[in-house]
Amino acid sequence: MGQDYHAACTDWRAGARDVCSRPMQSHKSELIELMMESGVLTFGDFTTKSGRKTPYFLDAGRYRTGQQLRRLSRIYALAIGEHFGQDYDLLFGPAYKGIPLVVSTAMALAEQGRPDIPFAFNRKESKDHGEGGVLVGQRPRDGDRVLIVEDVTTAGTSIRETVPILCAAANIELAGLIVAVDRKEKGRGPESALSELAREFQMKTHAIVDIDEIVSHLRTRSVDGKPVLDAETLARIESYRALHGAPSD
C-alpha cells in the first residue's frame, strides 16, 4: 500500500486522516475483510434499528458458516484479551445476533487458554415452563462482572434494553461492552453512542474497528475492476457522517 494508501486518505475528514497515518492492526483488517467476504458489510440504502437512513449497513445475521464464526470469534477473543484482560466473570450476548457471538467467543477464549468462562444470553419472550424466565446459560450471580458481547453500536438502543435484564437477574457489575464495529454516531447527545454508554453505565467499552477505519481500508480496494467505494458512495457516507457522526475523540 505505502504511499498510495496514504494519498487515498487525504480527502477523508480529519478524524479519518488520523486513522490513515498509522498502520492498521492485523485483526482489524482481518475483521473488515471477513465482513466483506461474508456480506455482513454492505453499501446502499438501509434503515438502522434506531430509524436512521444510512448508506452502509452491518448485519451479523449474514455470518452463516462455522468457518466464518470461527474466524470472527478468534478476533473477538483476541480483542477481549487485549482490552479487558481477565477482568470479567460472565459473557453475555443480547438476543438475537449476540447469541452466536457470545457462544463462539466463549469457545475461542477457551481455545486460547482462558480459564473456562461461562456465558448467557436472553430470549425475546419469557418462558413460563421448564427453567422459565428470559435467560439461557449461566445465570448471573451477585457480584459477577458481566462483559456484553454485541455486533455493532449505532444509537445504543439494544444495550439500554439489555442492562435492565442483567440487573434484574442479580446484583451484577458491568465489566464492559465489546462490539465489532463502532459507527461513531451521536447517541442521545453530541458524544458518540459508545462513549455515552460508557459514561451512562460506568463501564469500559471497546470497538474492534470503527467506520473511519473501515472506509480508510476499503477506499483503495477494487473487486472485478470496480472500486468497493466509488465517489458517490464516499460522498453519501461523508454526508451521513456530517449529519449523524459524533466528534472524533
Higher-scoring residue by pLDDT: 99, 127: 99
In terms of Cα–Cα distance, which of 20, 62, 27 is closest to 41? 62
pLDDT at 104: 97
In a domain, 63, yes or no: yes
User: pLDDT tens-digit profile of 182-200?
Assistant: 999 988 888 999 999 999 9
pLDDT at 221: 86
Query: In whole angstroms, what is the distance from residue 8 CA to residue 4 CA?
Result: 6
pLDDT at 23: 52
In terms of Cα–Cα distance, which of 185, 153, 151, 184 is closest to 61? 151
pLDDT score of 54 more than 70: yes
**Average pLDDT value for residue range 151-168:** 90
CATH number at residue 154: 3.40.50.2020
Grid cell digits, residue 188: 442521545
In the block, which residue shows the cell 481477565?
A: 86
In a domain, 109, yes or no: yes
Beta bridge partners of 119: 91
In a domain, 46, yes or no: yes
Contact 177, 159 (CB under 8 A): yes
In a domain, 249, yes or no: no
Question: Active-site positions?
Answer: 127, 129
**Average pLDDT value for residue range 132-160:** 91
**Average pLDDT value for residue range 124-131:** 59
- Domain range holding 72? 2-244
User: pLDDT tens-digit profile of 2-47?
Assistant: 333 333 333 334 444 443 444 557 899 999 999 999 999 999 999 8
In a domain, 55, yes or no: yes
Beta bridge partners of 127: 133
Contact 87, 174 (CB under 8 A): no
pLDDT at 126: 62
**Average pLDDT value for residue range 71-96:** 96
Contact 174, 148 (CB under 8 A): yes
In terms of Cα–Cα distance, which of 132, 102, 120, 96 is closest to 172? 120
pLDDT score of 156 more than 50: yes
Reduced to 3 states (helix: H, G, I; strand: E, B; else coil), residue 172 is coil
Q: What is the mean pLDDT of the chain?
A: 87
pLDDT at 2: 35
Question: Whole-prediction pTM value?
Answer: 0.85
- Domain total for the chain? 1
> Is the four-CA dihedral 89, 165, 194, 22 of positive or negative sign?
positive
Reduced to 3 states (helix: H, G, I; strand: E, B; else coil), residue 163 is helix
Query: In whole angstroms, what is the distance from residue 96 CA to residue 121 CA?
Result: 9
End-to-end CA gap in the chain: 26
Residue 27, Cβ density class (10 Å: 0-12 exposed, 13-18 middle, ≥19 buried): middle
In a domain, 194, yes or no: yes
In a domain, 237, yes or no: yes
In a domain, 33, yes or no: yes
Q: How many residues belong to the chain?
A: 249
Query: In whole angstroms, what is the distance from residue 53 CA to residue 79 CA?
Result: 30
